[in-house]
Amino acid sequence: MNNAELYHRSNTKQKRDSLQCLEEYGKRIKWKNGRITVIDIGCGDGSVTTSILKKNIPNNCERLLGCDISENMVQFANEHYANDHTSFTVQDIEGDLPTEFRGNFDNAFSFFVLHWIQNQEMAFTNIYDLLKIEGECFLVFVAHTLMFEVYRILSRSTRWKFWLKDVERFISPYHDCQDPVKKVKQMMTSIGFTSVEVEFLQKAFTFPNLDALKDFVRSINPFQIPKDLEEDYLLDLFNVLRDVRIIDYASSNVDGPIKATLNYSLIVAKGRK
Ligand SMILES: C[S@@+](CC[C@H](N)C(=O)[O-])C[C@H]1O[C@@H](n2cnc3c(N)ncnc32)[C@H](O)[C@@H]1O
């Protein structure tokens, strides 16, 4: 998940969902009057920050900062999207916050990042800490997806168990949870957030073709598979995708393309400091 060019051409699903979530739930965000500063946590290549988020925030935003743990992503974002009001910096949201981040943002956003983080308490506390008083956060992340089970299946195979030995680190902390909404609400409230609203959304995304699915899978791959094994890994992964019917021959037209649909659920969480 460190290849910015690949991510840049493979994040149609994330762009669609970020836009839908902002359009549907963003109306409830409280924006302050006067000049505001906004942060996008886990900005990746910067395309959601600038082509989706920026268009959905008021024009009194004087500073939009994207941050990401990946230097490659931040470099790509700065090269393609930085300007006088928008910039990108390296920051781990699960790590220590620099002083200049603390209490400095009116609104914090994050799209498709927080499910990668095991220490949820730390990340959400950091999000609370970087907000100004009465600042708000708007966070979108994955709860469940069959893709996580695909990782688990591969991690049990003789061939891939070494490379996927830390598989549980890359599975959403909410994937096996019966009531993720309650869990997120409780955590946010105990950290100190008020006006907490948490939604659970069922989503599906159909890939236009298998190459698009392949690019998507590669762009979010969290495992360090050696270059010379990558094609074999993808072949085996695609076989599992067929077994679990993410790639589905049965529902495809005989002459038409093979259908590849990923079902998943999202959490949209909002809270105020
Ligand atoms: C799936 S991408 C989402 C990028 C962008 N928000 C979007 O919606 O297109 C996940 C991003 O989260 C970043 N990330 C993962 N763990 C992080 C952490 N602890 N702190 C900051 N960013 C992190 C990754 O480097 C990656 O760029």
pLDDT at 248: 80
Which residue range(s) make up the domain with 190?
4-145+171-206+263-272
pLDDT at 60 over 90: yes
Number of domains the chain contains: 1
* pLDDT > 70 in the chain, percent: 97
What's the pLDDT at 205?
A: 94
User: How does residue 259 score in pLDDT terms, banded at 50, 70 and 90?
Assistant: confident
User: Which is nearest to 201 in space by CA: 270, 143, 246, 148?
Assistant: 143
Decide if 246 is inside a domain: no
Query: What is the CA(8)–ligand 1 centre distance, in A?
Result: 12
The type of residue at 104 is N
In the predicted model, is pLDDT for residue 254 greater than 70?
A: no
- Cβ count near 216 (within 10 Å): 23
Asked if the structure places residue 153 within a domain, the reply is no
- Gap between the Cα atoms of 56 and 49, Å rounded: 10
Q: List pLDDT tens digits, range 96-142.
A: 999 999 999 999 999 999 999 999 999 999 999 999 999 999 999 99
Task: Please answer whether residues 5 and 96 qualify as being in contact, where contact means their C-beta atoms are separated by less than 8 angstroms.
Answer: no
Handedness of CA 269, 174, 127, 191 (dihedral sign): positive
Task: Give the pLDDT mean for 62-70.
Answer: 96
Dist. CA 252 → ligand 1 center (Å) = 33
Q: Is residue 136 part of a domain?
A: yes
CA of 113 to the centre of ligand 1 (A): 5
Ligand 1 pocket by Cβ (under 6 Å): 1, 11, 14, 18, 42-44, 48, 68-70, 73, 92-94, 111-113, 116-117, 220
Is 100 part of any domain? yes
Residue 258 pLDDT more than 80? no
From 14, 38, 69, 96, the mutation candidate for ligand 1 (largest count of ligand atoms within 8 A of CB) is 69
Which band of pLDDT confidence, cut at 50, 70 and 90, is reported for residue 257?
low
* Residue 199 located in a structural domain: yes
pLDDT value for 247: 86
- Residue 255's pLDDT is what? 62
In a domain, 258, yes or no: no
Ligand 1 centre to CA of 15 (Å) is 13
Residue with the smallest CA separation from ligand 1 atom 10 is 113
**Does residue 219 lie within any of the structural domains?**
no
Task: Report the greatest alpha carbon distance in the chain.
Answer: 60
Which CATH number goes with the domain that contains 44?
A: 3.40.50.150
Judged against a pLDDT cut of 70, whether residue 256 lies above it is answered with no
71 assigned to some structural domain? yes
pLDDT digits 0-9 by tens, 221-244: 999 999 999 999 999 999 999 999
